[in-house]
Structure 1
Amino acid sequence: MAERRPLIARRLRPGHWVAVDVFAAVALAAGFSVPAVLAPESAGVPPFVAAPVIALACLPTAVRRRWPVPVCAAVLVAAVIAPFAGWQEAFVPLAVALHAVALLRARRTAVTALVAALAVTAAGAAIGAPSWTEAASVCGFAWLLLGLAWTIGLAVREQRAYAAQAVARSAQAAATAERLRVAREVHDVVAHSMGLISMRAGIANHVAATHPEEAGEALSIIEETSRKALTDLRGLLGLLRDIPEDRDDGAPRMVDRLRELVAAIPDGHVRVELDVEPGLALGGEAALVVHRLVQESLTNVLRHAGPARCRVTVVTRARREVVEVVVEVVDDGRGGAPRTGGHGLAGLEERVTLHGGTFSAGPEPGGGFAVRARLPLPSGSGSGSGSGEDDR
């Protein structure tokens, strides 16, 4: 089916609206002047009296968007003179001018213009109509037209203001979300690397005098960790410069990164067991979220758990016809409530929530601390089989 294009594909520019107003003003002037010239006996006044009044009322509306208040004032003057010239339809160009005031000026100015227009129209109907019945009929119709034009102009003005506020709020929300995303990336990259460097530096300082070979090994690991941190920071800076980052790592790349994280843990401090489902294939944002989950969780284990054992599990499970990747990082260290003032767990929860998953972190009943997360995967992702139905 062919795509339907709008009648006006491009947004009209100010010059286009001026052309529309000029055409409308000339059409109004011609439409009211021709009957006054061809049938002057119906108005009871000569054509040279009615035609200038009609021109004064209609032609200024051509520039109503540029000078709405002066144009409305000029049309009001013409509307005051119109009954004496035998012209009873001055409320039509007055409605056009009133619409521009309501659309482009403050509400107080628009209300003042509306009251003046209603008063002038009522006076003109009373002067020009042969009877009170006809005057009431003409006045009611004129007031209806004036009120409708004024209401439409005010409604469009309010709608534009609301749309501008919505765009500003949306831009502010997008900027806030971007700042939070950058903050999460910086925290995850810097905190983990600095935690490992601090741990290894402490070990090197402690054994420098008695076991220089261990101190040298620790310094080598510090050097390697620093280089990886610099690489991650360069990738983050590239992301901020809108350089696309290759996040479609696939199974081997993600598993290798998890193994690198585990291998960087100091020996004898925390024993980490890595359990990744065989054949697990994750790419794109899901792989990044899993990597950051494990990275931040291991950093917290190093900082707060003390000497402990830690188990990292990454598997897929089918749950209500949705395949999820389940990440668990559980240690048997000191545990306790999450530390206040940090941003690591809060950033993890934001990442998982933005990905449509669930996140929990807290002390275990038997001691230790656990971080658990579930991330829904697109159809066709994962290992292809999963670990069966999970009703937990």
Structure 2
Amino acid sequence: MNLLTRRLPYSLLVLADVVVMVLLTLMSAMERTVFDLGAVSALVCALPVALRRVWPLPAYCGALLGGVLVLLLPVSRPATIAVAALTVYTVATTQPSRRSGTALVAGLLVIGGAQLVSVMGVPRRMDNWPDPIFIIGVTWLIIGASWSLGATARTRREFAAREARRQAEKAVVDERLRIVRELHDVVAHSLSVITVKAGVTAKVLDKHPEEGHKALRTIEEIGRGSLVEMRQFLGALRSPGSAPESTPLPGLADLPSLTHRAAEAGVQVDLSVSGTVPDSMGPAVYRIVQEAITNVVRHAAPAHCRAGVSVVDGRLTISVVDDGPGRRMLPGEPGGHGLTGMRERALMHGGDFEAGPLPGHGFRVHASWEVR
């Protein structure tokens, strides 16, 4: 299949054109037993086929000239029609639509005019051909069909090129959106924990210096780690191609440290992981759990929550449920991007996402998708 769909090298295509030229020359001069004017004419009329990829328009003009000379010279008409069809195909595949269309019309007029002149009495060979009007119709049909095939091929190539550019641009946009989501998660989680720890530090630093200094060291660690991640992501925004190599993404192994930081911010997390989660899905699972716990820290601390990741019967499920207040945004307050980011991560894997308050109190985040 690859041999059929892969484009041949340019040199092989030119060589194939030379072979076709030789075959057309032999077909046109097959009745000649010696190398005379007819054989030379046949070679000259077939020559545009060998040059059509190098000089498309001049080769096509040469083919039309051969179509006119064939009325005066002993050369096979089918060969000249084949030459015109092959050269107009190349013109249609290489030239803009307006230029190739003009070339087509000019060619049809030249061929038709030459046939009309032959009807009016220009000497021509009596080779038992059908009526000249029929010849004109068949010739126009062959040349027009060849031009249509070439124009279709050019249109398909242009569409494929546009689609490739669109896919490349989409890949860049998707990569930047991914990095923006990662930045949001890093900043939101880190600042939420830092804010809570800073508030605790301000209250206990005078009475419990050791606890205060411990909290300050935690803030320093979180800040340094977040700065490193942010620097890597911002570098990836400048050079998207380097993102996969320079940006280490967190996974399931980082969930325990996430729950530890949440505990220091006043949210006790009961974490459970069961089943085998593919490594490719680890970053999405981590970010969803991270954002869900960050929302608990930001809106419900001190609180308690249960975070579960499981794979059962080929379906991965993420659930984070807390016992804080169900309402997470004040009336009239614009919503954040956390829930949107979690939903986008689930949809990227073709999954489902739900988030909302529980009856009475508490908040639940649930995401699931098929493991491939």
TM-score range, shorter chain: 0.7 to 0.9
Q: What percentage of aligned pairs have identical amino acids?
A: 31
C-alpha distance in 2, partners of 1:38/1:128?
27
Paired residue type of 2:113:
A
Displacement, 1:57? Answer: 2.4
Instruction: Check 1:330–1:263 CA distance in 2 against 1; reply closer, same or farther (3 A cut).
Output: closer
For 1:171, the equivalent position in structure 2 comes to 168
For 2:51, the equivalent position in structure 1 comes to 63
Paired residue type of 1:262:
A
Instruction: Check 1:34–1:132 CA distance in 2 against 1; reply closer, same or farther (3 A cut).
Output: closer
Paired residue type of 2:216:
L
For 2:239, the equivalent position in structure 1 comes to none
Displacement, 1:195? Answer: 2.0
For 1:148, the equivalent position in structure 2 comes to 145
C-alpha distance in 1, partners of 2:247/2:279?
12
For 1:263, the equivalent position in structure 2 comes to 263
C-alpha distance in 2, partners of 1:242/1:75?
56
Q: 2:293 aligns with which of 298, 317, 335?
A: 298
- Contact 2:308–2:319 (8 Å) recurs in 1: yes
Instruction: Check 1:303–1:177 CA distance in 2 against 1; reply closer, same or farther (3 A cut).
Output: same
C-alpha distance in 1, partners of 2:8/2:311?
54
C-alpha distance in 2, partners of 1:323/1:57?
69
TM-score, scaled to structure 1: 0.77
- Contact 1:301–1:331 (8 Å) recurs in 2: no
Q: Does 1:242 align with 2:238?
A: no
Q: 2:355 aligns with which of 351, 361, 364?
A: 361
C-alpha distance in 2, partners of 1:325/1:210?
44
Q: 1:126 aligns with which of 101, 116, 125?
A: 116
C-alpha distance in 2, partners of 1:377/1:25?
58
For 1:328, the equivalent position in structure 2 comes to 320
C-alpha distance in 1, partners of 2:293/2:258?
11
C-alpha distance in 2, partners of 1:112/1:291?
61
For 2:198, the equivalent position in structure 1 comes to 201
For 2:86, the equivalent position in structure 1 comes to 96
Question: C-alpha offsets along residues 208-265 of structure 1, whole Å, 9 cap, x if unaligned?
Answer: 445434422321221232344356558867972526958775xxx3562353243232
TM-score, scaled to structure 2: 0.81
**Stretches of structure 1 lacking an aligned partner (at least 5 in a row):** 41-46, 379-392
CA RMSD of aligned residues (A): 3.4
Paired residue type of 1:242:
E
For 1:137, the equivalent position in structure 2 comes to 134
Displacement, 1:297? Answer: 1.6
Secondary structure of residue in 1 paired with 2:308: strand
Paired residue type of 2:23:
A
Displacement, 1:183? Answer: 1.8
Larger CA deviation: 223-232 vs 293-302: 223-232
- Contact 2:275–2:311 (8 Å) recurs in 1: no
Q: 1:352 aligns with which of 320, 336, 346?
A: 346
Displacement, 1:364? Answer: 3.7
Q: Does 1:17 align with 2:13?
A: yes
Superposed, 1:337-348 pairs within 5 Å as: 337=329, 340=334, 342-348=336-342
C-alpha distance in 2, partners of 1:246/1:103?
47
C-alpha distance in 1, partners of 2:276/2:229?
22
C-alpha distance in 1, partners of 2:134/2:304?
88
Secondary structure of residue in 1 paired with 2:321: strand
Q: 1:109 aligns with which of 93, 99, 107?
A: 99
- Contact 1:308–1:333 (8 Å) recurs in 2: no
